[in-house]
Each structure stands twice: as C-alpha cells, then as structure tokens.
Chains A and B, each alone.
Chain A
Amino acid sequence: IAVTTRGCLLKEVHLNVTDLGLGYRTKEELIFRYCSGPCVEAETNYDKILNNLTHNRKLDKEAPSRTCCRPVAFDDDLSFLDDDVVYHTLKKHSARRCACV
C-alpha cells in the first residue's frame, strides 16, 4: 500500500559512474534519482501501534520497520563503456517514482 505525501520526493544528482562505488572504471556520467523526505503523514494505526509497543518494550529487541520513503518505480536502464572497452548495463539503479510504503 503506497501513499504519496508531500514530504517524500524524487530528487536527482549529477554524478560520475565511479561515484556509485560499484567497482566500474569509466569516465562516463549519469543522473542519479533518489527518494527522500519524511513519511509521518502517511503513517497508519499499524505504525502508531508499532511505535507505542516499541516504546513500552512489549516487542523483541529488533524494532520492525516503519513507513519509509522508497522508490515504487525505477528509471530506465543505464549503459556505459568502461576504460577496458567493455559495455555494462545497470538495472534498477535509479528511482522514477517515490512513495511512503
């Protein structure tokens, strides 16, 4: 169940492929899009209950995840040529749409 809210937005940054830290050697670049922002407005009773139970220590030590601002669709694939003249294609590397999930 995805709920779009004002806080959780798609943002973008212009990077070198090497900035991604995936181990590629290339001089090519990309636009990386990501989801960022608070999801408080989208919280359900489920999230409130989790919050209360965690606070009152009624649950196990590991706290279950709360609503997160995450990609619900990914950008098109990205291809680039590396310094050894080999092509690579990255899939699901960049966000297209965001939601509180």
Chain B
Amino acid sequence: PAMTRENNCLNAAKACNLNDTCKKYRSAYISPCTSRVSSAEVCNKRKCHKALRQFFDKVPPKHSYGMLFCSCPPSDQSACSERRRQTIVPVCSYDEKQKPNCLELQASCKTNYICRSRLADFFANCQPEPRSLSGCLKENYADCLLAYSGLIGTILTPNYLRTPKISVSPFCDCSSSGNNKDECDKFTEFFAENTCLRNAIQAFGNGTDVGVWQPMPPP
C-alpha cells in the first residue's frame, strides 16, 4: 500500500510524450480530434478517425496499449478512469447527436471494407469461452487486444462506459430494435459483457501477460 496511489493512465501518457514516435502520432490525432471546423461541428470526424487508426498502426503496443488499456483501481471513477476514457477523444471520435441502433450501425460497418474486416477480427479473436482458463476461445490476449484496438477509428469505435467494472461499447443501443431485440442484445453483450476481452484488458493493465508483448526475434 503506497502512500500516493499511482495513476497508471497518467504514467502511460508521460511515457508516450517522452517517446518521439508516440508523441508524434498522439498529437497527430489529438489535433484533428480537437479542432472545431464549423459552428455546427466540433471536429472533422473522418480526419480524427483516420489519425486514430494511424496511431494504433504506427505506435508500438507498449505505448499505444499503455494508454488505452491502463489499469485503474475499481474505486476510481475520476482521475485515472476519466483519462483512460479520454484517450480516443470521445467528444469527436465517439459521441453523436443521436444514438443509433446497434444493428443499424453494424449494417453500415459492413458496407465499409476496413470496418467489416476489423469487426470480423474482433468477433473471431475476442470470442469468450467460459470453460477455458483465459476466458477466451482463442487463448491469445494479444490478438484480442489488437482486434479491439483495430475497431478504433471505424464507425464502430468502442469506448469505456462509466461503470465500476471494465465495460466497453460502441456509441449505439438496442432501443427500437423491434423483432431483432435478441440479436441486438447479443451484439452489445459481446462488447459490454465479454469476459475474454475484459480478462485481456486486465492482464495487460496488471502486466500479468507481459511475455506476449516482447517483439518477435528476427527469423
């Protein structure tokens, strides 16, 4: 029990700005995601999403995941968790004036090849399996985190919800689902109540899955 509680998300941001690559690509998305383009729009969402995809493509996971998957004490609902929620600049990359239905959002994702393939990766690599020790069907947390972070910068961009437990969701809900309510609930639960994804995020945050993050030795 340390005297001052460490803020892992703040420490990750400090580490990013001390690394030239991370610093460069971090400001390269924060700029478009925080620049107002007109009185009606807070930002150019397309540019913000593109720069976010670049950040996760170009910056080594040690730094990019360090900020996205930093661990916060469950009691914390402010300094650490709020910083983690702000990583993707949700006011631009996430929020919309109206919450669309999740199945409608999924349908428009499937019309875009980047979004379609990244959603398929996410379903494949973060599939929960209650009987496995890891909680995942494919027991590879790194692949699940890669697939999850790959959704950032698509119209299904997910973010942390303000809940005590780690829970994420794209910006949509299941109101007005009609006959497809069950299908919609299954879609949202894959994000919000996914033990495989939750375990993967926690393992990274606690540094209990460190071996996987080392760069591959040259062949």
Contact = CB atoms under 8 A, between A and B. Distances in A.
Whether both chains belong to one complex is answered with yes
Interface string B68-96: 00000000000000110010010000000
- The secondary structure that dominates the A interface is strand
B14 A79 contact: no
Contact of A80 (B17, B33, B89): B17
Query: Interface range on chain B: under 10, 10 to 19, 20 to 34, or 35 or more?
Result: 20 to 34
Contacts of B198: none
B132 interface: no
A78 B27 contact: yes
Contacts, number: 49
B30 A89 contact: yes
B2 interface: no
Given A29-B18, A76-B20, A79-B31, A85 B82 contact: yes
A57 interface: no
Interface of B: 7, 10, 13-14, 17-18, 20, 23-24, 26-28, 30-31, 33-34, 82-83, 86, 89
Interface of A: 14, 27-31, 76-81, 85, 87, 89
